[in-house]
Amino acid sequence: MKIGFLTACLPKLKLEDLVKWASEKGFKSLELGAWPAKSSRDYQAKQIDAANFTKDDAKRVKDLFTKYNMFISAMAYYDNNLHPDKKKRDSYLKHLYKVIDTASLLDVKLVGTFVGGRSDKNVAQIIKEIGQVFKPILKYAEDKDVKIMIENCPMENWVRFGLPGNYAYSPELWEALFNELPNNNFGLNLDPSHLYWLGIDYIKAVKDFAPKIFHTHAKDTEILQDGVYKYGLFGKQVDPIPWKSGWWRYRMPGLGEIDWLEFISTLQENSYDYVLSIEHEDPVWEGSEEKVKKGLQLGYKHLSQFIV
């Protein structure tokens, strides 16, 4: 098993500088952000210009990773592929196909995204629509020898306050999605941090869905007891901030409440031997390039003691 990180936390760093720094600090892989050039959402990066990526670009990037003895674990582009606004949805899907093309050119086997969500349909209708949207995507990806993986972040309040924005956050929904889309190249980018605050047993999830775990995110969760008292499980209601409930927050591995020894051991026992990709969304270690890098190093130091 190797330790890497998602590059969305360092969006302004040039790819060569990013790969060089990561290699020097012991990381073995990067999960490359490939959002569109005009994207303005938080936690996104575009070290790869997927919309205009060429064979020459692919050679340059592959040579760079070879130079530093690194590899690309996956391409990352997480947006709402079920957006009710057709124009927005079409732009997201068009770019997703470009990211699949880019992965193929780079010989990268995984592309991560969200299924997405909408607030004007019930869950049964949403699952059916996800099937309709993703069937051609999965066929296209299969022809390119690429697998599509969905991260299990609820993206709460993303589409409408009080509702999830990504209908792939629980075992119930995974079962429904894999029943609707039984394709072998459709699986999970499993992140235990979301399961923890949702009250879902992340160890049992590994055991039950092991064949569908293509990739893993390493992000921790800290429960804020004062926030639990003040806001309750539904989170802050007055002047709400998306993804900031007030009663929990994301942390670097080792600074929250995830049992990383048990999580990693369970992954290994269930035949997962790929990448732990740190997803840096820790508010304590944000605000500057220096702090973000320090946070990544703290996460690496904690995880590495469990990796043989």
260-278 pLDDT, tens digit per residue, is 999 999 999 999 999 999 9
How much is the pLDDT for 240?
Answer: 84
What mean pLDDT do residues 183-190 have? Answer: 98
Give φ, ψ of 110 to 5 degrees.
-125, 135
What mean pLDDT do residues 74-83 have? Answer: 96
| Residue 154 contacts residue 195 (beta carbons within 8 Å) | no
What mean pLDDT do residues 75-102 have? Answer: 96
Give strand ranges (E) for 48-160.
Answer: 71-76, 110-113, 147-151
123: pLDDT strictly greater than 90: yes
How much is the pLDDT for 180?
Answer: 98
Q: For residue 283, what is the DSSP state? A: G
Q: Could you tell me the domains of the chain?
A: 2-222+252-304 (3.20.20.150)
Q: Which of helix, strand or coil describes residue 249?
A: strand
| Residue 249 contacts residue 225 (beta carbons within 8 Å) | no
pLDDT level of residue 243 (50, 70, 90 thresholds): confident
The amino acid that residue 297 corresponds to is: Q
Consecutive H or E run containing 218: strand 213-218
Indicate the average pLDDT of the chain: 95
Q: Could you tell me what percent of the chain has a pLDDT over 90?
A: 90
| Residue 110 contacts residue 149 (beta carbons within 8 Å) | yes
Phi-psi region of 65 (alpha: psi -120 to 50; beta: other; left: phi over 0): alpha
How much is the pLDDT for 33?
Answer: 94
How much is the pLDDT for 159?
Answer: 87
What mean pLDDT do residues 36-61 have? Answer: 82
